[in-house]
Structure 1
Amino acid sequence: MDALADRQVAAFLDNLRCQRRASPHTVEGYAHDLARLREFCAGKDIADWTRLEPAQLREHIALRHRDKIASRSLQRELSAIRGFFAFLVKRGEAQRNPAQGVRAPKTPKTLPKPLDVDQLAGLLDAPAEDALDIRDLAIWELFYSSGLRLSELTGLDLYDVDRHAGQVLIRHGKGDKSRMVPVGGPALAALERWLDLRPAYADAKATALFVSRLGRRISVRTIQVRLDRWQLRQGFPEHLHPHRLRHSFASHLLEASGDLRAVQELLGHANLATTQVYTHLDFQHLAKVYDNAHPRARKKNRAKDGQG
């Protein structure tokens, strides 16, 4: 590529620095990203920026991905390239932006490791030292008992819990969908202990099931901070997040029942595929469920047994 290509990159970086007030770190990162793209173009005998085709840019990103560059880094590179060509188009130095439809490979979903039953017992059976600990234990129990999302739990009102039926109504789940989920015995007992103490913190008009020490509806951040403290007090070695309690609920229920559809309903997932990924369900487990449940699979197994 010629000197004009270098001047165009320099003008773009100068625009970032002076007009858009980008940080030095951002400008340096964009400079490295465009230098790598220039090196690729030179290797492909692409004479200037306007001759770069989307297919060639995809090849460049694919090569970077093959070199174990993380998806987030590739997304940043594409952002730099997209911004650079938008700059050239605006200045009339390019007719199109070849990066417009190019996407980086998706970041693989990482899921928290479920806690085992003994670990959960250690966390949930620990003694409370004060009223707020009793409230917190009711929260942890409800997370694990019913598999709630953090936002669903903070949104609960007193009338959403039916203690006699042993169930809780989620009025506004993901996608604003409602669902009813069961509540186990230990969670109900923990809720009873908290509800006995709640009037000391909430006035008669307050509807929130869980309130802060100031009487307001408990916040997402407060729950996260309190769980961090609880984890440290119990000597638990790993970081805990409320989502990990929900994940443990789903994993343990699926392991015991094998009923993917039921777990899907309890979690409030719109798609079964989401539940399958969420619970680490692998093909071996699916094959086992199939062999045990499908009529033709059972006949096949019986035929084999008869031959033996």
Structure 2
Amino acid sequence: MWQETDRGYSVNSRNQRMCAVKSFLRYAAEKDKILMPLFLDVKVIPKKKDTRVREIEFFSESALKAILEQPDRNKKNGQRDLFFMILMYDTGARAQEILDLRLCNIRMDGKNPYVVITGKGAKTRNVPIMEKTCKHLKSYLHRFHIEDNPEEYLFYIERKGIRSQMSIDNVEKFVARYGKKAQETSTDVPEHLYPHMWRHSRAMHLYRNGMPLPLVTEWLGHAKMDTARCFIQMLIQR
């Protein structure tokens, strides 16, 4: 308790430290059997549940416009960052789900282009993309994927001629940077912009524009209707 009251630790930090203590005592008890009773007493201490109501943040459509105006599309990284944010918003996907996309997951050969997204539990879902997004996609592919390798990551970094998957840290940095820059021209842009806020915002915009809750659930890839319903209700209450 003192960790939370005196040190100001969160419930998650408290649980992580308790886990570390248990691991150490297990190791010590294996070395010295006298310590086994102490380890067994500590082992049964349950994790504390976090009962706080977490605020779900999202931005307006006008804020989205201001943010997307920030990347310099004439520069290679600017075009990449812009398309990443467009695709993340259009699909409502998690940032990591976008980072995991490979060229073989892009389907533009039919009348209705879509991307195959792999979510939690390795479950896949086909998410359609808008015509404007397809135009950005084609332009991005022309610049970043001259050689068509189906197994190559859609978004990558290149060092010394070697390509590797782009990291979530990279995404967080450029999203935050464009957010701060957009605040100079729009008061609608949240103070702290982070990737998952795009998913929240897309869900809210779809719902407000008339998409039924079951379709929003399918779009987001939630396994349970209750999860999406709770999510939307928390957004509406804001």
Same fold judged by TM-score > 0.5? Answer: yes
Kindly report structure 1 stretches of 4+ aligned residues shifted beyond 6 Å.
Answer: 76-83, 85-89, 92-96
Which whole-Å CA distance do the structure 2 matches of 1:280 and 1:135 have between them?
34
| Mapped partners of 1:216, 1:191: distance in 2 | 20
Query: Does 1:268 find its partner at 2:221?
Result: yes
Pairwise CA distance, 1:275? 1.2
Q: What do the CA deviations read for 1:209-241 (whole angstroms, capped 9, x no partner)?
A: 222244433222222222223223333562221
The CA deviation at 1:116 is: 0.5
Helix, strand or coil for the counterpart of 2:41? coil
Report the secondary structure of 1:216's partner residue.
strand
User: In structure 2, the residue corresponding to 1:108 is in which secondary structure?
Assistant: coil
Does the CA contact (< 8 Å) of 1:168 and 1:180 recur in 2?
yes
Aligned partner of 1:108 in structure 2 is 52
Which structure has the bigger radius of gyration?
Answer: 1
- Separation in 1, partners of 2:39, 2:107: 64
Query: For residues 283 and 238 of structure 1, what CA distance do their matches in structure 2 show?
Result: 20
Letter in 2 for 1:113: E
- Matches of 2:53 and 2:133, distance apart in 1: 30
Task: Name stretches of at least 5 consecutive residues in structure 2 with no aligned partner.
Answer: 184-188
Classify the secondary structure of the residue corresponding to 2:179: helix
Instruction: Return 5+ residue gaps in structure 1 as ranges.
Output: 1-28, 34-63, 285-308
Whether the aligned pair in 2 keeps the contact of 1:158 and 1:209 (CA below 8 Å) is yes
The structure carrying a bigger strand percent of its residues is: 2
State the alpha-carbon separation in 2 of the partners of residues 211 and 80 from structure 1. Answer: 35
The CA RMSD over aligned residues, in Å, is 3.8
More helix by share: 1
What percentage of residue pairs aligned between the two structures are identical?
Answer: 24
Q: Pick from 180, 197, 209: which aligns with 1:256?
A: 209
Alignment partner of 2:231 out of 241, 260, 278 = 278
Paired residue type of 1:154: L
- Superposed counterparts of 1:57-206, under 5 Å: 71-72=11-12, 75=15, 90-91=34-35, 97=41, 100-108=44-52, 110-126=54-70, 128-163=73-108, 164-170=111-117, 172-199=118-145, 203-205=147-149
Q: What amino acid is the match of 1:114? A: F
Give secondary structure in 1 for the equivalent of 2:164. Answer: coil
> Which residue does 2:186 correspond to in 1?
none
Give the conservation status (yes or no) of the 8 Å contact 1:263–1:275: yes
Paired letter, 1:191: L
Aligned to 1:292: none
| 8 Å CA contact 1:132, 1:213 repeated in 2 | no
1:271 CA drift (Å): 1.3
Change beyond 3 A, Cα 1:256–1:81? same
Judged with a 3 Å threshold, the aligned counterparts in structure 2 of structure 1 residues 91 and 135 are, in CA distance, closer, same or farther, namely closer
